[in-house]
Amino acid sequence: MSLRQAANSWARVTARALASPSAAAPSKYAAPVKQARGFAAGGHHDTHTSHGISVNKPSAWHLYGARAFGAVAWFWIFYRMREDGPALLGLRHHWEGHDDHGHDGKEH
């Protein structure tokens, strides 16, 4: 049996199985149900579509959370610049310290 004959035979068997009355008969126990799929859309939101890519608008807690985390990051950057900025800019050597260790001028 050649490959073409095997493929035709398989196609005939599949077509007969799909066309059989037992497969097409409705069940007396289960009523047909129409499915409605949302594909994880989560409802109708405002979206912006550009070049085939749709982006949903962020919710309020995403906006406020991003603003809060951004503020913390910038405060940290400003704090580190206040502490280590002169060493970073070459105005002081990094081994000179911060002069706020509470040693009261005593040597170790």
Cα separation, 89 vs 80, whole angstroms = 13
The number of residues in the chain equals 108
pLDDT (tens digit, 9 = 90+) per residue, 43-87?
556 777 888 888 888 899 999 999 999 999 999 999 999 988 888
DSSP character for 48?
E
Asked whether the beta carbons of 47 and 54 are under 8 A apart, the reply is yes
Give pTM, 2 decimals.
0.41
- Nearest Cα residue to 84 out of 96, 74, 73, 67: 96
The H or E element that residue 75 is part of is: helix 60-88
Cα angle for residues 87, 91, 94 (degrees, 5° grid): 30
